[in-house]
């Protein structure tokens, strides 16, 4: 069986084979947001960029549910494949699709009914509200296709078909670019065109991946008898998927707080410099920095997705030496990659950020300048953040969700939450400096704090794997 290679081939070769397609897939996924924002920024201007950014907390909450089911199911799927239990693996796939459907219906109803009150919580201004409301209303209606495109694709990787998963995502990305161009440039639609472009791309991506499962091109099959809710299995899926849910749910709350802080200190920034609409400029700048930095983070997440089936299979097969080697190689790969990215952002940020802004007004030029300043601060501790992401993904994939939850909460709650409130105030009132910089500096400070705790967890985990491997009769050098 093709999945047997996960326990026999070279770790480096497997990591390349499984991670490169997954990284390509996540970067292609990121291109949705990048191309979307470039088209929006060039055709609709500042208001369009702010509308897409200000809705970020809501889409983070959508992602939280999708990742809970997708990652939880995929972790369980990899372990069952390692145990050679294909029937249970197929049951997991059927259960997951039903859960995606139920969550999407609930979220669509909630999103449509509470659209405007939710946006008001994020301090959306009257000039941006029509754009944000229109964009959000369309996107929540297509949530099911987003969840399916993300989740079922993970199953392809879990059963040893990373290239097919990459092609599926590539189709969605190319279609998204085409539909963005069609709606925003050719048809000159409002911001709803960008939303429809994303949904249509994900719809065709979903159709493509489902076709492979029903046509017999996969090891596992979609069986109609498994399209039902199994409460015990659903509980196992949600427990394994709890770390990403908590991470994304907490991120949703913190992003909402961050938007309010950006609006408040952005307006203060504008008042001191005679710039109108400073709050929206700050939110727009954050949106640009967020999407380009996400390319780096999603690359690491792509590596984690490549690591996941290797770790899951070898845990199921009891080969703990291979688990440890996979973890170490992933960490060193991420450190090298993030150092290169950090250098690029420091040296030539203008080349990366300028396409997002049509420099036709003073406000747009200010937004670009603020983005350049912010991105250099954001990425200053990028290698440390990369190591934290690898370890969080590792604990999700090896059946230790509680540790991943703790690691997430330390960064998001213990560090980020007080810093995003206190640091801007401290810089403004104590140091007589720009309070807006306090929001930018919160990220690297959190990276440092969470990295220190991660190193402790890494050392402990390597010792645990060494003990498990010795008990299996194979001495492991770590």
Q: What is the pLDDT of residues 409-449, one digit of tens each?
A: 898 889 999 999 999 999 998 888 889 999 999 999 999 99
**Strand, coil or helix: what is 438?**
helix
> Is 445 within a domain?
yes
pLDDT-based confidence at 25, cuts 50/70/90?
Answer: low
Which comes out higher in pLDDT, residue 247 or 347?
A: 347
Q: Look at residue 472 in the predicted model and tell me its pLDDT.
A: 63
- pLDDT cut 90: percent of the chain above it: 32
| Distance (Å, whole) CA 292 – CA 34 | 7
* Mean confidence (pLDDT) of the chain: 86
Determine the average pLDDT of the residues in 168-179.
84
pLDDT exceeds 80 at position 260:
yes
Note whether 136 and 166 are within 8 A (CB): no
| Distance (Å, whole) CA 203 – CA 148 | 9
- Looking at residue 65, what DSSP letter applies? H
> Is 213 within a domain?
yes
> Is 142 within a domain?
yes
Note whether 316 and 17 are within 8 A (CB): no
Residues 6+ apart with CB under 8 A from 306: 15, 17, 18, 19, 20, 21, 22, 23, 157, 162
Note whether 379 and 290 are within 8 A (CB): no
Note whether 336 and 18 are within 8 A (CB): no
pLDDT-based confidence at 477, cuts 50/70/90?
Answer: very low
Q: Look at residue 3 in the predicted model and tell me its pLDDT.
A: 64
Q: Provide the number of structural domains found in the chain.
A: 1
Q: Look at residue 478 in the predicted model and tell me its pLDDT.
A: 43
pLDDT-based confidence at 59, cuts 50/70/90?
Answer: confident
Burial 202-215 (b: 16+ CB within 10 A, else e): bbbbbebbeebbee
Cα distances (Å, whole numbers) of residue 124 to 87, 132, 453: 49, 8, 36
> Is 129 within a domain?
yes
Give whichever of 152-161, 353-362, 422-431 has the largest mean pLDDT. Answer: 422-431
pLDDT exceeds 80 at position 4:
no
pTM of the model: 0.81
Which residue has tokens 């397609």?
21
φ, ψ of residue 122 in degrees (nearest 5): -95, 15
Q: Look at residue 29 in the predicted model and tell me its pLDDT.
A: 65
Q: Look at residue 1 in the predicted model and tell me its pLDDT.
A: 47
pLDDT exceeds 80 at position 244:
no
H, E, C per residue of 211-254: HHHHCCCCCCCCCHHHCCCCHHHHHHHHHHCHHHHHHHHHHHHH
> Is 386 within a domain?
yes
pLDDT exceeds 80 at position 353:
yes
pLDDT exceeds 60 at position 149:
yes
pLDDT-based confidence at 476, cuts 50/70/90?
Answer: very low
pLDDT in tens, 278-335: 999 999 999 999 988 988 888 898 888 888 888 888 887 788 888 889 899 999 999 9
> Is 76 within a domain?
yes
Give the number of other Cβ atoms within 10 Å of residue 166's Cβ: 22
Structural domain harbouring 33: 2-471
End-to-end Cα separation, the chain, in angstroms: 30
> Is 476 within a domain?
no
Burial label for 225, CB within 10 Å (0-12, 13-18, 19+), is exposed
Cα distances (Å, whole numbers) of residue 199 to 51, 145, 179, 195: 17, 7, 10, 6
| Rama region for 259: left / alpha / beta (φ>0; ψ in -120 to 50; rest) | alpha
> Is 478 within a domain?
no
pLDDT-based confidence at 257, cuts 50/70/90?
Answer: very high
Give the number of other Cβ atoms within 10 Å of residue 196's Cβ: 19
Burial label for 72, CB within 10 Å (0-12, 13-18, 19+), is buried
Determine the average pLDDT of the residues in 265-269.
92
pLDDT-based confidence at 2, cuts 50/70/90?
Answer: low
């Amino acid at each position: 069986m093709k999945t047997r290679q996960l326990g026999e081939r070279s770790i480096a070769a497997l990591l390349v084979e499984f991670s490169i397609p997954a990284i390509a897939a996540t970067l292609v996924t990121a291109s949705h947001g990048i191309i979307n924002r470039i088209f929006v920024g060039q055709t609709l201007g500042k208001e369009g960029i702010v509308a897409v950014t200000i809705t970020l907390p809501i889409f983070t909450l959508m992602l939280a549910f999708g990742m809970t089911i997708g990652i939880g199911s995929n972790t369980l799927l990899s372990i069952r494949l390692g145990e050679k239990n294909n029937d249970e693996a197929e049951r997991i796939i059927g259960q997951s699709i039903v859960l995606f459907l139920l969550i999407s219906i609930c979220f669509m109803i909630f999103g449509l009914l509470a659209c405007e009150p939710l946006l008001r919580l994020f301090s959306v201004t009257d000039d941006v509200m029509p754009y944000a409301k229109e964009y959000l209303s369309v996107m929540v209606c297509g949530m099911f296709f987003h969840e399916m495109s993300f989740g079922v694709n993970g199953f392809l990787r879990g059963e040893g078909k990373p290239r097919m998963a990459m092609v599926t995502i590539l189709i969605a990305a190319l279609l998204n670019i085409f539909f963005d161009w069609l709606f925003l440039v050719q048809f000159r639609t409002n911001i709803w065109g960008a939303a429809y472009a994303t949904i249509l791309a994900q719809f065709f991506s979903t159709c493509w991946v489902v076709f492979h499962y029903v046509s017999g091109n996969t090891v596992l099959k979609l069986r109609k008898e498994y399209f039902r809710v199994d409460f015990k299995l659903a509980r196992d899926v949600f427990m394994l998927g709890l770390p990403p849910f908590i991470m994304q749910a907490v991120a949703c709350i913190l992003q909402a707080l961050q938007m309010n802080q950006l609006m408040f200190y952005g307006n203060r920034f504008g008042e001191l410099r005679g710039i109108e609409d400073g709050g929206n400029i700050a939110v727009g700048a954050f949106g640009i920095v967020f999407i380009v930095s996400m390319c780096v983070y999603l690359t690491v997440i792509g590596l984690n997705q490549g690591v996941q089936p290797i770790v899951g299979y070898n845990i199921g097969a009891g080969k703990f030496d291979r688990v440890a080697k996979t973890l170490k190689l992933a960490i060193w790969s991420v450190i090298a990659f993030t150092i290169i990215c950090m250098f690029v952002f420091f040296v030539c940020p203008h080349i990366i950020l300028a396409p997002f802004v049509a420099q036709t007004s003073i406000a747009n030029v200010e937004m670009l300048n603020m983005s350049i300043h912010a991105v250099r601060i954001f990425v200053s501790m990028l290698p440390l953040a990369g190591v934290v992401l690898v370890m969080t993904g590792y604990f999700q994939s090896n059946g230790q969700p509680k540790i991943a939850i703790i690691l997430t909460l330390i960064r998001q709650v213990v560090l980020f939450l007080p810093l995003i409130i206190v640091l801007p105030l401290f810089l403004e009132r104590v140091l007589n400096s720009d309070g807006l910089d306090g929001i930018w500096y919160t990220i690297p400070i959190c990276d440092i704090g969470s990295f220190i705790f991660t190193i402790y967890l890494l050392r402990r985990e390597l010792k645990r794997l060494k003990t498990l491997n010795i008990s299996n009769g194979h001495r492991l050098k770590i």
